[in-house]
Amino acid sequence: MARHLVVAGTLVDEDPELALAHARAARDRASRIAVVREAVGVAAYHAGDYAEASRELRAYRRMSGDESYRAVLADCERAQGRPEVALRLVREALAEHPDRAETVELQLVEAGVRQDLGEVPAARLVLEGALGGRPSPTGVDLTDESTRRLASAYADLLTATDDPSAAAWLDAVAAASPEEDDDIAFGEEELPVPDEDPSRDTASDEPTTGRAAAADAGEAEHEDADAGGTDADGAEDDVDAEYETGSDLAFDEDVEREVAELLGEVEPPTEDEPEH
């Protein structure tokens, strides 16, 4: 299960469809773990499956109590052609006075919905208000990421309306934008990244013990039971086949043990015990 989450987080920007297949495979094995439902929701959002993203992120919210995806849920409603629902979600979230980062995300969604509805002046007011009112490219702090995102949306709106100040905004945003970091992590705890060193010996002769062996046996039984399934399971089966190799066994033990420790299912290793 854990390795599917690792791969989903790694591929979510580069190949969101494959990331979603991995996240779904993780859900098949551990649907009651909140971070797994979060992974499916985020991957589905990036893959453009907004209905599944909405379902999974709502499930994650119920399981974890985390309200941080309210802007994403509102954007999913917008993408599914329900602008009024999106605006209601934005209003409800803003009424609870979220932190600045979430407030900016909600304002961006509201501005986008207003544009979808043809309410361009209202969208402009939303963005200008978020930027401090009657903003100028030199009068806002574009080193701040949230401000830069608002400014980028504002520049796009000005460009769409052929506003003469659009070019200055676009240039200012481009000059202030750093190189993007595409790494994605699900949940508060970062999962380890697989060792891609080609010189690493395969672990086919190494015995598996404890929870790792049980997890591998459980996954093998799951795959045998699915062998006669329908074509709808094809993507997940291909994903499993790709990673069911001997060279991944040592990594599996490390990741499965770490996840088990995070869930409180096993005690962390003592100072006298070497970690895997």
Query: What CATH number has the domain bearing residue 23?
Result: 1.25.40.10
Residue 184 lies in a domain: no
Query: Where a domain ends, among 137, 154, 177?
Result: 177
Domain assignment of residue 23, yes or no: yes
Mean pLDDT confidence for 227-247 = 46
The enclosing H or E element of 135 equals none
Domain of 27 in residue numbering reads as 1-66
252, 3 Cβ separation under 8 angstroms: yes
| CB-side neighbour CA atoms (13 Å) of 179 | 2
pLDDT category of residue 1 using cuts at 50, 70 and 90: confident
Map residue 182 onto helix, strand or coil.
Answer: coil
Q: Is the pLDDT of residue 7 over 90?
A: no
Q: Please indicate whether residue 24 or residue 184 has the higher confidence score (pLDDT).
A: 24
Is residue 252 in a domain?
A: no
Helix (H, G, I), strand (E, B) or coil at 33: coil
Q: How confident is the model at residue 255 (pLDDT cuts 50, 70, 90)?
A: low
Q: Which residues contact residue 200 at a Cβ distance below 8 angstroms, ignoring those fewer than 6 apart?
A: 247
Could you give the angle at the alpha carbon of 222 between the alpha carbons of 220 and 224, nearest 5°? 70
- Residues 49, 84, single domain; the answer is no
Calculate the alpha carbon distances from 74 to 53, 84, 108, 128, 146 in Å: 11, 10, 11, 21, 18
Token pair for 179 = 């190189």
| Tokens read off for 173 | 């945003």
Distance CA 60, CA 17 (A): 20
Flag whether 134 is in a domain.
yes
The DSSP call for residue 266 is S
Instruction: Kindly report which listed range (7-11, 71-75, 148-152) carries the lowest average pLDDT score.
Output: 7-11
In a domain, 236, yes or no: no
d(CA 3, CA 69): 24
Of the residues 12, 43, 66, the one at which a domain ends: 66
| Residue 164 identity | P
Instruction: Select, from the ranges 115-124, 249-258, 260-269, the one with the highest average predicted confidence (pLDDT).
Output: 115-124
Cα 143-148-154 angle, rounded to 5 deg: 150
For 125-183, how does the pLDDT look when each residue is reduced to its tens digit (9 = 90+)?
Answer: 999 999 999 899 999 999 999 999 999 999 999 999 999 999 999 999 999 988 665 44
Do 125 and 25 fall into the same domain? no
Determine if the pTM surpasses 0.75.
Answer: no
Mean pLDDT in residue range 35-61: 96
| Residue 80: inside a domain | yes
Name the domain count of the chain. 2
116 Cβ contact partners less than 8 Å away, ≥ 6 residues apart: 78, 83
Residue 196 vs residues 199, 202, 212, 247, 248: alpha-carbon distances, Å: 9, 12, 20, 10, 10
pLDDT of 229 over the 70 cut: no
User: What length is written for the chain?
Assistant: 276
* Most confident stretch, 29-33, 49-53, 254-258: 49-53
DSSP state of 206: S
pLDDT at residue 8, as a whole number: 86
CA distances to 91, 111, 121, 127, 156 from 162, in Å: 30, 17, 13, 17, 10
